[in-house]
Amino acid sequence: MLQLHARLAVAPVNPGTLTDLTEVSQGCAKGCDLCSEFNGCLKCSPKLFILLERNDIRQIGICLPSCPLGYFDLRNPEMNKCIKCKIENCDDCFSRNFCTKCKEGLYLHKGRCYTTCPEGYSAANGTMECSSPAQCEMSEWGPWGPCSKKKKLCGFRKGNEERSRKILQAPAGDVSMCPATTELRRCTVQKNQCPEGKKKKKEDQGKRGNTNGNRNRKDTKDAKSGTKRRKGQQRGTRIPVTSASPSQ
């Protein structure tokens, strides 16, 4: 023992090193390879992380199997460390620049915290994480169709025109997650008169309808006249009943 102390006393060391080595010989906390009375653990065993906790004006090192909430792990060949998250409004992080949990009431989006989700994003499944809508692969819009109203192409002033597109690929085959495949918009017809062919056809249909109506009215009138004649004939051909004359 005397020889050991003599060697330590002669060795060229910085102030305080001798005290640290003496404390190491007295034993450190479990998982700590080097410690001091003033700063706690100075070096943790491999696979453990050193966390520096502030106590008044000094920092005390402790060894942990994983870093606590609000810290991320930094692996190093010499010693693994727990580094405090410094991202604004972040409660927990994966690295210096990527937050994984925001403070209460804030939304998480791509490693940052926001008061609302950015445009085009919304909170997913009632969580506080912003996500984009389901990604669907859609074809280009087709051309606008003719202006129509109730499937008619003439005889009106204002109507609607329609165009469509196809779903090329849907997430997990669920087409309900994709946007609309048809689109309508108002349109105005320059000429609201139907072409001559269609107009003549409508007129012919109207004439036939009038002819049929006149024929039906005539048939009804003739039927009524016939009924009256039959009734008159019945009244005119009635034979009077006479009493028999007395025989002589």
Quick: pLDDT tens for 16-68.
443 444 455 357 888 999 998 888 999 999 889 999 988 888 888 999 999 99
Number of Cβ atoms within 10 Å of the Cβ of 233: 10
Round to whole Å and give the CA distance between 111 and 94.
9
Instruction: Output Rg (C-alpha) for the chain, integer angstroms.
Output: 50
How confident is the model at residue 21, as a pLDDT? 43
The encoded tokens of residue 151 equal 């499937």
Helix/strand/coil percentages in the chain, nearest 5: 25, 30, 40
In this structure, what token pair is assigned to residue 223? 């039927």
Segment 59-79 mean pLDDT = 91
What b-and-e string marks burial along 83-111, b requiring 16 or more CB atoms within 10 Å of the CB?
bebebeebbbbeeeeebbbbeeebbbbee
Question: Cβ of 40: how many Cβ atoms within 10 Å?
Answer: 21
Answer whether residue 105 shows pLDDT above 60: yes
CB neighbours of residue 140 within 10 Å? 6
Which percentage of the chain shows pLDDT scores above 70? Answer: 62
List, for residues 141-181, the tens digit of each pLDDT value.
999 888 888 877 777 778 888 999 998 877 656 777 788 89
pLDDT value, residue 16: 42
- Higher-pLDDT residue of 199 and 111 is 111
